[in-house]
């Protein structure tokens, strides 16, 4: 059956005679036995006493034990220097693999026992953030006013105030960890800087920064979280603030849609109206676009090309209203107007907008104009038509181009 041991010191079987304060590693596939870790080899911890082969040896784990470490040097070192693995479980300042400790005092030579702080290097294990992970606590309580009255053995809390416990009268210190013992007293643990644990009642991880417990999020340095640390995000999505001010995933890849704020939220919406947006970023304005704030849209030309007797019509779209601004010079495109019945007229559904222009004598390639426009009939409403009415008595007699300048106005 699997076991979990929530202490930083674990007993292993000694695979050889071991001196105290030496680095050890697991003995191959035998995970219950340890031997010396040599230079550059990964170690799991530091021996705590002299042990004969096959006897039990206590090992302070590099990964999660609290506090500093006693280690034996293989040569002289300087205070503050980085320490690396050396032969027979010792340490030295000779680089070999990753640095394991930083010496807090100098070693005079081989055999010197010095104090070091673990750096969490590859040869020394440790968490990526070099925290000393502790067993979780149930809550943070002020023991001077709210000490638990009948705790179960193993109940753990962070005390928030210095004084005496309101139930037991035991002296308590702010920020210390208190664990209930069998006899009803509290085991007082002073946290070291970098100690980390979960506060179960608040569902939060806290880190002791040397003077106070801080939430893990506030413990991280600004700009220290890389993109690689984020959980997967659907391609084409972005992170946005959502309900309850929590971050969430917003799909932003829908074809030809844009992100628009509504004063409360941001949404991916389709462009509608008189503008069309391509997924290349190009924007085009519809022919029927209306600039409603000024009452008129951008002027444009409707070009009529009569080439036989009949009505040539442009139907105004629903919801729109057309205004004729002017008629540009017109152009005879083929044949010669040879009869009085060769003529063109611009009109709406019921009324003539221009006089009738006779094309008799207007030859191929000649430019001509309408003599007048009746300003009483310049506007054409939705679903009605702007027309050129053509009469023709001779072949190609009314063939021409009639460019009419118009704009859209507010209906």
Domain ranges of the chain: 9-128, 133-219, 237-286, 300-408
Looking at residue 221, what is its pLDDT? 59
Write the CB contacts of 379 (distance below 8 Å, at least 6 apart in sequence): 321, 322, 323, 324, 409
pLDDT tens column, 269-315: 988 877 888 888 888 876 656 544 445 567 889 999 999 999 999 99
* Model confidence at 159: pLDDT above 70: yes
Highest-scoring range by mean pLDDT, 29-33, 71-75, 241-245, 257-261: 71-75
362, 332 contact by CB (below 8 A):
yes
Cα torsion 61, 63, 67, 70 to 10°: value is 50
For the domain bounded by 9-128, which CATH number is listed?
Answer: 2.40.300.10
**Cα 253 from Cα 230, distance rounded (Å):** 20
pLDDT tens column, 374-389: 887 889 999 999 999 9
pLDDT tens column, 335-370: 888 777 889 999 998 888 988 899 988 999 999 999
* Model confidence at 99: pLDDT above 90: no
**Cα 301 from Cα 291, distance rounded (Å):** 17
Looking at residue 128, what is its pLDDT? 39
Mean pLDDT value across residues 29-54:
91
- What does pLDDT average to over the chain? 86
Architecture of the domain delimited by 300-408: Sandwich (2.60)
pLDDT tens column, 210-225: 889 988 765 555 666 7
């Amino acid at each position: 059956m699997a076991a979990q041991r929530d202490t930083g010191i674990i007993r292993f079987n000694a695979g050889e005679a071991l001196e105290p304060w030496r680095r050890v590693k697991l003995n191959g596939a035998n995970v219950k036995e340890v031997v010396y870790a040599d230079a550059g080899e990964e170690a799991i911890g530091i021996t705590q006493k002299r042990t004969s082969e096959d006897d039990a040896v206590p090992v302070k784990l590099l990964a999660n034990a609290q506090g500093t470490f006693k280690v034996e040097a293989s040569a002289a070192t300087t205070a503050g220097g980085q320490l690396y693995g050396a032969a027979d479980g010792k340490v030295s300042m000779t680089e070999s693999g990753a640095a394991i400790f930083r010496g807090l005092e100098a070693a005079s030579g081989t055999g010197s026992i010095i104090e070091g702080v673990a750096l969490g290097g590859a040869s020394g294990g440790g968490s990526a953030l070099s925290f000393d992970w502790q067993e979780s606590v149930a809550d943070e309580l002020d023991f001077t006013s709210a000490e638990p009255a009948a705790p179960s053995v193993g109940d753990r809390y962070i005390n928030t105030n210095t004084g005496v416990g309101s139930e037991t009268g035991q002296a308590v210190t702010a920020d210390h960890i208190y664990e209930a013992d069998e006899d009803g007293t509290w085991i007082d643990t002073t946290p070291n800087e970098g100690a980390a644990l979960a506060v179960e009642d608040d569902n939060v991880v806290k880190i002791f920064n040397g003077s106070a417990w801080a939430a893990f999020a506030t413990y991280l340095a600004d700009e220290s979280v890389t993109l690689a640390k984020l959980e997967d995000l659907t391609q084409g999505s972005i992170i946005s603030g959502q309900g309850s001010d929590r971050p969430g995933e917003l799909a932003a890849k829908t074809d030809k849609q844009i992100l628009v704020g509504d004063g409360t939220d941001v949404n991916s919406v389709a462009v509608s109206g008189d503008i069309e947006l391509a997924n290349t970023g190009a924007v085009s304005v519809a022919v029927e676009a209306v600039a409603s704030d000024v009452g008129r849209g951008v002027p444009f030309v409707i070009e009529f090309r009569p080439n036989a007797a009949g009505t040539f019509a442009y139907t105004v779209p629903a919801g729109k209203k057309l205004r004729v601004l002017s008629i540009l010079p017109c152009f005879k495109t083929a044949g010669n107007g040879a009869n009085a019945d060769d003529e063109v007229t611009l009109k709406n559904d019921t009324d003539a907008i221009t006089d009738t222009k006779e094309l008799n004598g207007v030859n191929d390639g000649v430019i001509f104009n309408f003599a007048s426009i009746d300003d009483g009939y310049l506007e054409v409403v939705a679903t009605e038509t702007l027309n050129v009415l053509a009469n023709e008595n001779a072949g190609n007699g009314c063939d021409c181009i009639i460019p009419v300048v118009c704009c859209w106005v507010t209906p």
